[in-house]
Amino acid sequence: MTLTNDTTAFTMSNIQGIVYHEGRPFVQGVCNDTHVAHGNVTVRPAGTVSLCDSVSLWNVLRCMVDFDPDKYSGDLTMVITDAKGNRRICTKEGVPVGKLLNNKLKKTKKK
């Protein structure tokens, strides 16, 4: 993702998230710490994703065939540490995946 960082450089750490399908936990993931420099930067936090309990490969395949982003939402938590060492916990809960995809598509179309 491309970010415009008008502040000083910072680091995102302890990045954790969970995606819900129709309100039930579907996948969960963690990302490696990621440094964000000042200016327009592209960041691609690497990490791992795993299926939540009671989610099978069959559930994933079914969702791939009939994907409806409005049936998904997500929670995200991370720690932001600025260049001076100040830390802040950032949490977003219940973010609709459809909204994220629509924002991404709008930004892509403007280019």
Mean pLDDT of the chain: 87
Judge whether residue 102 has pLDDT over 90: no
Mean pLDDT of the 49-72 span:
92
Give the tens place of pLDDT for each residue, 1-16.
Answer: 677 777 889 999 999 9
Whole-model pTM: value is 0.79
Mean pLDDT of the 85-98 span:
93
Task: Decide: helix, strand or coil at residue 3.
Answer: strand
User: d(Cα 105, Cα 29) in Å, to the nearest integer?
Assistant: 23
Q: Give the chain's length.
A: 111
All domains of the chain, ordered by start, with CATH?
2-110 (2.60.40)
List Cβ neighbours of 99 (8 Å cut-off, separation of 6 or more). Answer: none
Q: Contact at 8 Å (CB) between 2 and 40? A: yes
Give the tens place of pLDDT for each residue, 75-91.
Answer: 999 999 998 999 999 99
